[in-house]
């Protein structure tokens, strides 16, 4: 698609929290928070002519490599929130995108994401084939207080559970959707910590893609949870409560 006449380098998009997105106490689920961020990023890329549909002409797609989320407060059922997003950097095959969630004038959540351009045929990273100079970059504008870190996965982890990738876990790129990794890991955490909103910060590193019917183990060491296939870590989550 061509660049939309409504395109701006900073996008603000409104959302209303519905009951399907909430925990039993009405707080927005952490997974649904990340879904809102993904959908807002996708909407911005579509307006700017670098959406999934645009990139598929070159067999390309954006895939998430890292995500850092800092939560001050979770929105609730029926809240009307605004997600603001902009690109911090975009060069060759990599991009850092910032997102913030507001309730009125109050910032509730900050998020930074690291994306890579991925060839959906070769399953390898490559440079973006579409023009992106019309996106103004904001290298000094951060959405989070902290920066990406390398999660330590060298410790001895204890296996918690085994899982198998099902069709419902896949997305349009034909691999496990990024939010599903988070969902699987959060299902192993004390539910009271999630429902009460005690999870104040979490960071995710996506290391290897998972496909239909892949068998994996989920393991934990203190505040780090990993998803592993054939003895290799595919995903790591670090969290603070």
Residue 10, beta-bridge partner list: 86
Cα–Cα dist 210/181, whole Å: 10
Per-residue confidence (pLDDT) for residue 218, from 0 to 100: 98
Cα–Cα dist 68/107, whole Å: 16
Same-domain check for residues 18 and 135: yes
Residues with pLDDT less than 70, the chain: 1
Quote the pTM value: 0.95
Indicate the number of domains in the chain. Answer: 2
Same-domain check for residues 8 and 112: yes
Under 8 Å between Cβ of 81 and 32: no
Q: Which of 142, 160, 193 is the last residue of a domain?
A: 142
Q: Which of 110, 142, 174 is the last residue of a domain?
A: 142
* CB contact burial 171-184 (16+ within 10 A = b; e otherwise): eebebbbbbbbbbb
Same-domain check for residues 122 and 169: no
Same-domain check for residues 156 and 132: no
Same-domain check for residues 71 and 26: yes
Under 8 Å between Cβ of 220 and 157: yes
Same-domain check for residues 200 and 238: yes
The two structure tokens encoding residue 129: 């084939």
* CB contact burial 93-107 (16+ within 10 A = b; e otherwise): bebbbbbbbbbeeeb
Per-residue confidence (pLDDT) for residue 237, from 0 to 100: 98
Burial (CB count within 10 angstroms: exposed 0-12, middle 13-18, buried 19+), residue 80: exposed
Same-domain check for residues 81 and 121: yes
Per-residue confidence (pLDDT) for residue 2, from 0 to 100: 82
Per-residue confidence (pLDDT) for residue 241, from 0 to 100: 86
CATH assignment at residue 225: 3.10.129.10
Q: Which of 85, 108, 142 is the last residue of a domain?
A: 142
Same-domain check for residues 41 and 93: yes
pLDDT tens per residue, range 203-214: 999 999 999 999
Give the domain range for residue 132: 1-142
Under 8 Å between Cβ of 157 and 231: no
Per-residue confidence (pLDDT) for residue 150, from 0 to 100: 87
Same-domain check for residues 202 and 227: yes
Same-domain check for residues 42 and 129: yes
* Residue 36 φ/ψ region, left for φ over 0, alpha for ψ in the -120 to 50 degree band, beta for the rest: alpha
Same-domain check for residues 109 and 203: no
Going from the C-alpha of 32 to that of each of 24, 140, 155, 172, 183, the distances in angstroms are 14, 28, 30, 18, 10
Same-domain check for residues 24 and 133: yes
Per-residue confidence (pLDDT) for residue 113, from 0 to 100: 98
**Entry field: residues in the chain:** 241
Closest Cα partner for 119 from 163, 173, 158?
173
């Amino acid at each position: 698609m061509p660049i939309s006449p409504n395109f701006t380098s900073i996008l603000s998009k409104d959302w209303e929290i519905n009951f399907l997105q909430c925990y039993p106490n009405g707080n927005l689920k952490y997974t649904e928070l990340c879904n809102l961020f993904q959908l807002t990023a996708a909407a911005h890329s579509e307006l700017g002519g670098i959406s999934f549909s645009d990139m598929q002409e070159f067999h390309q797609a954006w895939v998430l490599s890292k995500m850092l989320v800092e939560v001050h407060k979770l929105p609730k059922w029926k809240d009307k929130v605004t997600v603001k997003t902009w690109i911090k950097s975009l060069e060759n095959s990599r991009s850092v995108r910032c997102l913030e969630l507001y309730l009125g004038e109050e910032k509730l959540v900050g998020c930074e994401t690291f994306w890579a351009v991925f060839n959906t045929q070769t399953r390898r990273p490559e440079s973006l084939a579409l023009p992106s100079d019309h996106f103004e970059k904001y290298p000094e504008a951060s959405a989070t207080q902290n920066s990406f870190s390398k999660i330590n996965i060298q410790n001895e982890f204890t296996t918690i559970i085994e899982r198998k990738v099902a069709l419902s876990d896949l997305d349009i790129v034909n691999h496990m959707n990024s939010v599903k990794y988070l969902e699987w890991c959060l299902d192993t955490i004390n539910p009271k910590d999630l429902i009460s909103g005690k999870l104040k910060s979490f960071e995710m590193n996506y290391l290897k893609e998972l496909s239909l019917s892949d068998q994996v183990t989920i393991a934990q060491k203190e505040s780090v949870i990993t998803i592993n296939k054939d003895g290799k870590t595919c995903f790591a989550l670090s969290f603070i409560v």
